[in-house]
Each structure stands twice: as structure tokens, then as C-alpha cells.
Amino acid sequence: MKVVGFIGPSGTGKSHRAVWVARERGIDFIIDDGLLIRGTQIIAGTSAKKEKTKIGSIKRALFTDDAHANDVRKTLQNYGAESLLILGTSDGMVESIVKRLELQEISEKVYINEVATEFEINQALSTRKQQGKHVIPVPTFEIKKDFSGYFLDPLHIFRRKGKGSFQLVGEKSVVRPTFSYLGNYTISDYTIYQIIEYVASNIEGVSKISRFRAENHSDGIYIDMDLVLFYGYSIKPLLRDVQKKVIEEVERLTALNISSLNLTAKSLVLDPKRTVV
């Protein structure tokens, strides 16, 4: 299956342009915010925009729920999909979805600034920020049943045919999810540290974290960490185990993407509970 990523920050108009990007590349299937869309129909998945909280929405969009991921994966297989467009807010998000759905590697990445002007992007961001409106790239009849109480209005897409003449070429739907009323949320660096400290301290061979630094970037969190290890353990496999378990747990609990986790074995101490021979 050919997999194409369509990438841009939240609210920049990806869903609005998804059908056009897919059509230009001969792609029939789109994954957007937890939904699998074929043409003008939702054929599998659950919309992240139905979630009551922002963090729930992010988890839904990343397919962290096994049943949700299996549903979409099997539907793609049943339809014999040959190409797929995946929408995401970062390279890391698109790659995470590919991994969760056990798909082929991404063969092409399209960025929002390649298909939209700076003015159009800023206009979309303003609408998202001020009105909390989100676009779903399917007609209203496709989502009306599932979005009872959420639905706002249809968004008709026209193409100019001549002077004063327009042709209706498609319809999308505008919703305002529950979480858009709840304001912003943040997860502090200290909270991330507490999660990591708990995970690391429960791994045999780790004494403590001696230094921790986290930086937020558009594509995820970059973490640098020094560890004090107990003497007697093979250091390289131990650090790999810490890295794997920390990333899994932080992403599971926070839905944040860890782009980099650099570990340094800073020093060794004797484990009073372990006899060294």
C-alpha cells in the first residue's frame, strides 16, 4: 500500500484540503482524526472530535485503543486499499499512526504550506482559535447521526466555471467538539519527570535520575536524562530497556509524542540488596 502523509499544525486547514490532496495523487482512502474515509463515506473508525476532552481526542486520533486500530486495519485489508492519505499535526504523529496500523512506510509527505498560502493558513488558524470549529471531510449526512448535538453546518465547496458561474464539487462538515469549549490544557515538565522517575525507578538496575531536561518542539518532546545505575548490570541493554519503557508509558499516559530520549549512564553505585561476586 502506498502511504502518503499530509502534515500541518492543528487548525491550519488540512481536513479542508484533504480530498483535493488525495484526488491529485489518485488516493481513494483518507485517515483523519480517527476516521477512515473512502470518497464521501466514513467506512471505519471513530472521530476524535467526539471525545469530551482534548487529550481523549489526541489518543483517539493516534489509534491508541487496540479495538479502534484493529477496526481500521481490517477495513483497509477488506477493501484492498492500494493507497492511503494520513493527516497528522507532525511527522511523528503520522509515523505513529502508520506503526499502530501496521502499514507500509510513508513514501511521500505533503506539508500544508505546500498546498495553502500563508494567508489561508492564518485564516484557518483564526477560525479555529476564535470559534473552535473543526472540519470533517465528508458530507453532512455522513456524520449527522454520530454528531447529534455537535453538528453546526455544511461547508459547500465550489469551483469557478466562468465569470459569475460556480460548480458545486463537494461538501464538508463543520463541527464544534465538546473539548473546544474547555480551553487549553498543558502538561508540565515536572509531571513528565514524575512519570519517568516512577518508570525508571522500577526497572532493575536503575538507582536514580541525576539530571533531567525536557524541551517542547512542534514535532514532540526532546528529553535528555542522566542515570545513576547499579554496578553489575550490562549497561547498554539496560539503557535500551529504560528508553523503551519510558517512551511507551509517557505516550500512553499523556498522548504526547517523544521525538528523542537521550540517556547517559553518569555513574555506578553498589546495590545494597544485591551481592556482587
In a domain, residue 160? The reply is no
Is the pLDDT at 34 greater than 50? The verdict is: yes
Where does 101-148 have alpha helices with state H?
112-115, 118-131, 140-143
DSSP code of residue 49: G
- Are residue 120 and residue 15 in the same domain, yes or no? yes
Give dist(CA 149, CA 263) in Å, integer. 48
* 270, amino acid identity: L
112 and 28 share a domain?
yes
- Closest C-alpha among 79, 81, 71 to residue 34: 71
Report the range of poorest mean pLDDT among 83-92, 172-181, 187-196, 243-252.
Answer: 172-181
Q: Is residue 166 part of a domain?
A: no
Residues 67 and 145: their CA atoms lie apart, in Å, by 21
Write the single-letter amino acid at 213.
Answer: R
In this structure, the answer to whether residues 85 and 204 fall within a common structural domain is no
Q: How many domains does the chain have?
A: 2
> Is residue 250 within a helix (H) or strand (E), and if so which, with residue range?
helix 235-254
Report if residue 184 sits inside a domain. Answer: no
Q: How far apart are CA 170 and CA 18, in angstroms?
A: 12
Confidence band for 255, pLDDT divided at 50, 70 and 90: low
Whether 65 and 162 have beta carbons less than 8 Å apart is answered as no
Q: Are 12 and 116 in contact (CB under 8 A)?
A: yes
Q: What per-residue string of b and e applies to 181-209 under the rule 16 or more CB within 10 Å gives b?
A: eeeeeebeeeebbebbbebbeeeebbbeb
100 assigned to some structural domain: yes
pLDDT at 182: 44
Looking at the structure, do residues 107 and 195 belong to the same domain, yes or no?
no
Q: Are residues 106 and 200 in the same domain?
A: no
Indicate which CATH number applies to the domain containing 61: 3.40.50
Q: What is the mean pLDDT of residues 114-135?
A: 72
Residue 274 lies in a domain: no
CATH code: domain of residue 238:
3.30.70.1350
Classify residue 104 by its DSSP letter. Answer: P
Residue 158 located in a structural domain:
no
What DSSP letter does each residue of 66-96 carry, written as one string?
HHHHHHHHHHHHHHT--EEEEEESSHHHHHH
Does any domain span residue 43?
Answer: yes
Same domain, 193 and 124: no
What pLDDT, on a 0 to 100 scale, did the predictor assign at position 150? 41
Q: Is residue 248 part of a domain?
A: yes
Specify whether 199 is located in the same domain as 109. no
Give the mean model confidence (pLDDT) for residues 224-240: 95
User: What integer is the mean pLDDT of 179-205?
Assistant: 76
pLDDT in tens, 44-103: 998 887 777 778 888 999 999 999 999 999 999 999 999 999 999 999 999 999 999 999
pLDDT at residue 211 above 60? Answer: yes
The residue range of the domain holding 46 is: 2-129
pLDDT tens sequence across 235-248: 999 999 999 999 98
- 8 A C-beta contact, residue 53 and residue 182: yes
